[in-house]
């Protein structure tokens, strides 16, 4: 795969790559989609190169799919990473020997790379990754147990998480991440898991209600010992509306 790309490097933008941070939520767990190349000690974000005939937004979808088999995920660009030495130590001549690539062709890989970060938040039970390369493992890993990553991938991951947390202040969240009918405590847990902190119950109820995207159902959660909590669903139309204008019309 990498060998193919290097040998046909004229079909890819030089010195530019894409890395994807795919967050997965389910049942109060936040995970990240990571890849490990068998021979490597470290894990990495799913990343790759930009075909010269693809817009970068399209290339991000291509890259994610080609490394993890994942498709149908809405990827958002969040930042571009371009410190001079960010990939200097990772790709050295050894990889060319390993891939059996001649030095002249291999120069394409050994140069400085700037990488564009894309991220998404999905339900990790609904997105089943597949390793697309025989010598790679793709896994959902709890975001609190992320192992050592290659290059500056930890920095990219942290920045994506910052962006996701910041977006909680701008956009509604939860659609496609919770069951169709859910309780306020379940929704609160989603926010708490992403923010990694406890929220005040009453404050949360007041704020989330004020947004006006919830419909209170005429049902209570069953299987609950006593004082069964109310069930809610998202009012899809209002949810979409708020997605468009943002939470804070602010001023």
Question: In 3-state terms, what secondary structure has residue 171?
Answer: coil
> By CB under 8 A, which span of 10-18, 33-41, 178-186, 222-230 interacts with a second copy?
10-18
Six token digits for residue 169: 């202040």
Q: Cα–Cα–Cα angle for 80, 168, 210, nearest 5°?
A: 155
Q: Identify the CA nearest to 146 among candidates 223, 60, 35.
A: 35
Q: Choose, by CB under 8 A, the member of 1, 2, 16, 37 that binds a second copy.
A: 16
| Residue 5 found at the interface with a second copy (CB under 8 A) | no
Q: Choose which of 1, 2, 3, 13 interacts with a second copy (CB under 8 A).
A: 13
Site for a second copy in 221-250 (CB under 8 A): 246, 248, 250
Distance CA 24, CA 94 (A): 34
Residue among 35 and 247 whose Cβ is closer to a second copy: 247
Q: Give 222's Cβ-side CA count (13 Å radius).
A: 2
Query: Is the CB of 37 or the CB of 114 nearer to a second copy?
Result: 114
What is the chain's Cα-based Rg?
21
In angstroms, the CA 56 to CA 76 distance is 11
Instruction: Candidates 4, 27, 55, 158: give the one binding a second copy (CB under 8 A).
Output: 55
Q: Which is nearer to a second copy, 80 or 230 (CB)?
A: 80
**Tokens encoding 134:** 């025989």
Closest distance between a second copy and the C-beta of residue 96, in Å? 20
CB of 227 to a second copy, least distance (A): 24
Check binding of 210 to a second copy (CB under 8 A): no
How far apart CA 4 and CA 223 sit, in angstroms, is: 55
| C-alpha span between 131 and 67 (Å, rounded) | 7
Is 77 an interacting residue with respect to a second copy (CB under 8 A)? yes
Nearer to a second copy, 72 or 250 (CB): 250
Shortest spacing between CB 125 and a second copy, in angstroms = 24
Between vectors from CA 168 to CA 166 and to CA 171, what angle results, nearest 5°?
115
Binding site for a second copy (CB under 8 A): 13-16, 50, 52-57, 59, 77, 79-84, 112, 114, 116, 166, 168-170, 191, 195, 199, 204, 207, 246, 248, 250-251
């Amino acid at each position: 795969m990498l060998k193919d790309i290097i040998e046909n490097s004229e079909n890819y933008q030089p010195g530019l790559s894409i890395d994807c941070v795919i967050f997965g939520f389910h049942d109060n767990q936040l995970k990240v989609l990571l890849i490990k190349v068998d021979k490597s000690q470290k894990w990495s974000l799913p990343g790759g190169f930009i075909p010269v005939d693809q817009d970068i937004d399209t290339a991000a979808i291509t890259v994610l799919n080609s490394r993890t088999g994942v498709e149908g995920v809405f990827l958002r660009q969040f930042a571009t990473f371009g410190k001079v030495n960010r990939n200097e130590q990772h790709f050295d001549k050894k990889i060319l020997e390993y891939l059996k690539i001649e030095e002249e062709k291999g120069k394409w890989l050994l140069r400085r790379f700037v990488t564009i970060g894309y991220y998404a938040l999905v339900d990790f039970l609904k997105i089943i990754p597949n390793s697309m390369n025989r010598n790679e493992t793709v896994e959902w890993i709890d975001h609190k147990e992320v192992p050592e990553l290659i290059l500056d991938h930890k920095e990219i991951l942290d920045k994506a998480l910052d962006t996701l947390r910041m977006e909680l202040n701008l956009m509604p969240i939860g659609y496609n991440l919770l069951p169709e009918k859910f309780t306020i405590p379940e929704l609160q847990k989603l926010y708490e898991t992403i923010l990694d902190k406890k929220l005040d119950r009453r404050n949360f109820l007041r704020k989330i209600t004020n947004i006006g995207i919830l419909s209170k159902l005429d049902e209570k959660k069953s299987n609950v010992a006593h004082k069964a909590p109310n069930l809610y669903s998202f009012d899809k139309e209002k949810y979409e509306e708020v997605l468009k204008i943002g939470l804070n019309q602010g001023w």
